Amino acid sequence: MTSHIPMVIPKPEPVTDSSPQTPIPPSSFFNFNTTTTQSPLEPNLYTEFTNVAETFRSAFAQRLKRHEDVTVLDSLTGAIVPVPEEQDPDPDPVSYPSQSLKPRKPQERSSELVRITDVGPEGERQFREVVRKTRMIYDSLRIFLILEETREVLGRRRGRPDSKAASMMKERFLWLNRDKRIVGSIPGVQVGDIFFFRLELCVMGLHGQTQAGIDYLIGSRSSNGEPIATSVIVSGGYEDDDDQGDVIIYTGHGGQDKLGRQAEHQKLEGGNLAMERSMYYGIEVRVVRGFKYENAVSSKVYVYDGLFRIVDSWFDVGKSGFGVFKFRLERIGGQVEMGTSVLKFAKTLKTNPLSVRPSGYISFDISNRKENAPVYLFNDVDDDQEPLYYEYLATTSFPRGILGGSNGDNASGCECVSGCSSGCICERKNGGEFAYDYNGNLIRMRPLVHECGPGCKCPPTCRNRVTQKGLRSRLEVFRSVETGWGVRCLDILHAGAFICEYVGVALTREQANILTMNGDTLVYPARFCSDRWKDWGDLSQVFPDYERPSYRQIPPVDYAMDVSKLRNVACYISHSNDSNVIVQMVLHDHNNLMFPRVMLFAAENIPPMTELSLDYGVSDDEWSPKLAICN
């Protein structure tokens, strides 16, 4: 825990018996609390998060020049430092903040300005998990609402599932960081994280404005009466912006007409003033960049690029001849590479890889065109070229005989000539709910997905045909010092997106036993561990009476895959108990429940160049690249 955290604590409830001009008595200004507060645990995410947050919270406050008697600033760090003799005489500090800082309305945004630092690896892991779960709920709920709406009002104008999902979560207190205004990084949100909706940023507490580019604590609610900016979104909406990566010339807001054209001078008020004040106090702002991205669920993508400092501000004449405020933002050092840079890099890798990585490529397609998209092989670590020595197999081959027999069930398919819709036989096979949404993303995990197959009359565009169409994104096998061979994606993988099949030569148990004795390397699909993701897509926190669908039980998957000679890209995915890839069994070209195909999906939004990882069902310590497949 650092002892030197700049922080502003809000003005408490206005003193009723004084006129608006009268300063509030000094004693009520200060609230200092470094003790851990424990409020009764409730079984929801929000409470859990708050409790963790409180553990690491410390507070300092001061009054600034509006109240002439005290002004304490640390000139080196810009920190607002405590004024010890004005310590809050609150006799019951344990009740803080639930009583002394209780918002006027339960849903009102907090005015408590805090910075959370040094939560430690364990704290960060916990925060990350909460953020993950919350994002999962948001996305699942959003997709749920889309599907529900499509079912109810077919063809009618669609609402705003992104905003409705956010509202529903807000009503259920599932928004994160509502009890405080965080300056600096949001625990659990990492540089490079990708979001698809502005409201998703609101839910995370990363940026509280649905449209405005500058988020700030308003002056009337801050301790010194001055507004403080906390985050900005850079998405090119102002013609006078100049974005050079680590340095941004950010235009203040205001002065635009309805068409977004600069039509009058901007004023130093609202967010503009907050930016200026943040600069004055040396308080950093979070920067989120928004830009168009083809193939994204929303056509737009928001990337968290980390913390910037406002180093300069001035009033300038903009391109349209009107006065605009400009702020020079410089990225604070020591942070990981910006997500935006990584995105740009990955994009170039897809079109012109040698221009940015002249050496290290071993192959530009280890699949030899057996996949829809080329699979790169890259190694700038050592001379190993192992993946070249295996023949590439694009889909698992099953033993002859086990699939052949076509009983009545096998032969039958749906008759949906224009694509499957609700009520069709294939939907019923899937427990009354298709496994995928209209973008081909997995909605919820289940024991087995029945895709439409050769016996179905529906076209290839049917929503129930996803994994059978193969790779949709660009994958790269790469050499890493830590994990040996690994796999990463050059595209953004939306949560639930199909990645690839885990491929091998399938063997019956008897065949496998013989091979194991020979020392060959086998993969057992049944061992893939999905416990961590078993409630993936679960909405019981939103709908209290939500019933987990009961899927038909399937016989245990009891085959092994030989990957000693034939394999595909999936074989190089590393193991992690903290995996970002989930395993879903799928049938599409045959109906033998004992031999489903092993399909891999993104468990969360995965930014480009992030290593993919699977839980092979062993602990992290036990794992080695060899063991993963020997086991």
Partner DNA sequence: GAGAATTCATAGAA
Partner DNA sequence: CTTCTATGAATTCT
* Cα dihedral across residues 13, 173, 179, 57: positive or negative: positive
Distance, in Å, from the CA atom of 183 to the CA atom of 114, rounded to the nearest integer, reads: 6
On whether the CB atoms of residues 430 and 449 are closer than 8 A, the answer is yes
Nearer to DNA, 296 or 512 (CB): 296
Closest contact distance (angstroms) between CB of 163 and DNA is: 4
Binding DNA (rule: CB under 7 A), the pick from 9, 182, 202, 489 is 202
N-term to C-term CA, the chain: 42
Q: Which of residues 90-129 bind DNA (CB under 7 A)?
A: 104, 107, 109
163 contributes a contact to DNA by CB under 7 A: yes
216 contributes a contact to DNA by CB under 7 A: yes
Closest contact distance (angstroms) between CB of 133 and DNA is: 20
Residues in CB range of 504: below 8 A, 6 or more apart:
393, 396, 523, 561, 562, 563, 566, 567, 571
Length reported for the chain: 631
158 contributes a contact to DNA by CB under 7 A: yes
405 contributes a contact to DNA by CB under 7 A: no
157 contributes a contact to DNA by CB under 7 A: yes
Nearer to DNA, 274 or 452 (CB): 274
Nearer to DNA, 73 or 212 (CB): 212
473 beta partners: none
The dihedrals phi and psi of 467, each to the nearest 5 degrees, come to -70, -25
Size of the site for DNA (CB under 7 A): 50
251 contributes a contact to DNA by CB under 7 A: yes
Q: Which of residues 336-355 bind DNA (CB under 7 A)?
A: none
Residue 251, H or E segment? strand 247-251
Strands 228-234 and 214-217: antiparallel
305 contributes a contact to DNA by CB under 7 A: no
Distance, in Å, from the CA atom of 186 to the CA atom of 182, rounded to the nearest integer, reads: 7
Alpha carbon of 247 to those of 78, 291, 307: distances in Å?
21, 17, 12
Binding DNA (rule: CB under 7 A), the pick from 81, 218, 425, 593 is 218
Question: Looking at 209-217, 315-323, 354-362, 537-545, which segment touches DNA (CB under 7 A)?
Answer: 209-217
180 contributes a contact to DNA by CB under 7 A: no
Closest contact distance (angstroms) between CB of 326 and DNA is: 10
Q: Give burial (CB, 10 Å; 0-12/13-18/19+) of 151.
A: exposed
211 contributes a contact to DNA by CB under 7 A: yes
Nearer to DNA, 162 or 179 (CB): 162
Closest contact distance (angstroms) between CB of 225 and DNA is: 12
Closest contact distance (angstroms) between CB of 472 and DNA is: 17
Alpha carbon of 498 to those of 150, 441, 489, 494, 589: distances in Å?
22, 7, 12, 9, 17
Nearer to DNA, 396 or 421 (CB): 421
The DSSP symbol for 219 reads G
Nearer to DNA, 276 or 371 (CB): 276
Closest contact distance (angstroms) between CB of 611 and DNA is: 28
Binding DNA (rule: CB under 7 A), the pick from 65, 160, 534, 565 is 160
On whether the CB atoms of residues 306 and 250 are closer than 8 A, the answer is no
Q: Which of residues 270-299 bind DNA (CB under 7 A)?
A: 270, 290, 298-299
The DSSP symbol for 28 reads G
Binding DNA (rule: CB under 7 A), the pick from 45, 130, 145, 233 is 233
Nearer to DNA, 139 or 162 (CB): 162
Binding DNA (rule: CB under 7 A), the pick from 47, 55, 209, 576 is 209
The upper half-sphere exposure of residue 287, i.e. CA atoms within 13 Å in the direction of its Cβ, equals 29
On whether the CB atoms of residues 289 and 303 are closer than 8 A, the answer is yes
Nearer to DNA, 270 or 306 (CB): 270
Closest contact distance (angstroms) between CB of 102 and DNA is: 12
Strands 566-567 and 522-523: unpaired
Question: Looking at 83-91, 160-168, 365-373, 575-583, which segment touches DNA (CB under 7 A)?
Answer: 160-168
Closest contact distance (angstroms) between CB of 309 and DNA is: 17
Q: CA triplet 336, 338, 344: central angle to 5 degrees?
A: 135
Binding DNA (rule: CB under 7 A), the pick from 11, 133, 180, 198 is 198
Closest contact distance (angstroms) between CB of 201 and DNA is: 8
210 contributes a contact to DNA by CB under 7 A: yes
Strands 391-392 and 566-567: parallel
Closest contact distance (angstroms) between CB of 613 and DNA is: 29
250 contributes a contact to DNA by CB under 7 A: yes
65 contributes a contact to DNA by CB under 7 A: no
Our CA dihedral for 11, 17, 21, 26, rounded to 10 degrees, sits at -40
Nearer to DNA, 104 or 400 (CB): 104
The upper half-sphere exposure of residue 369, i.e. CA atoms within 13 Å in the direction of its Cβ, equals 0
Nearer to DNA, 472 or 532 (CB): 472
Distance, in Å, from the CA atom of 6 to the CA atom of 80, rounded to the nearest integer, reads: 5
Q: Which of 614, 629, 560, 590 is nearest to 448 (CA)?
A: 590
On whether the CB atoms of residues 2 and 24 are closer than 8 A, the answer is no
Nearer to DNA, 82 or 219 (CB): 219
Nearer to DNA, 300 or 457 (CB): 300
Binding DNA (rule: CB under 7 A), the pick from 208, 282, 504, 607 is 208
Distance, in Å, from the CA atom of 339 to the CA atom of 388, rounded to the nearest integer, reads: 31
Alpha carbon of 358 to those of 112, 323, 352, 479, 481: distances in Å?
50, 46, 10, 16, 20
Nearer to DNA, 7 or 166 (CB): 166
170 contributes a contact to DNA by CB under 7 A: yes
Nearer to DNA, 81 or 147 (CB): 147
237 contributes a contact to DNA by CB under 7 A: yes
Interface residues with DNA (CB under 7 A)? 104, 107, 109, 157-164, 166-167, 170, 196-199, 202, 208-213, 216-220, 233-238, 241, 250-251, 253-256, 259, 269-270, 290, 298-300
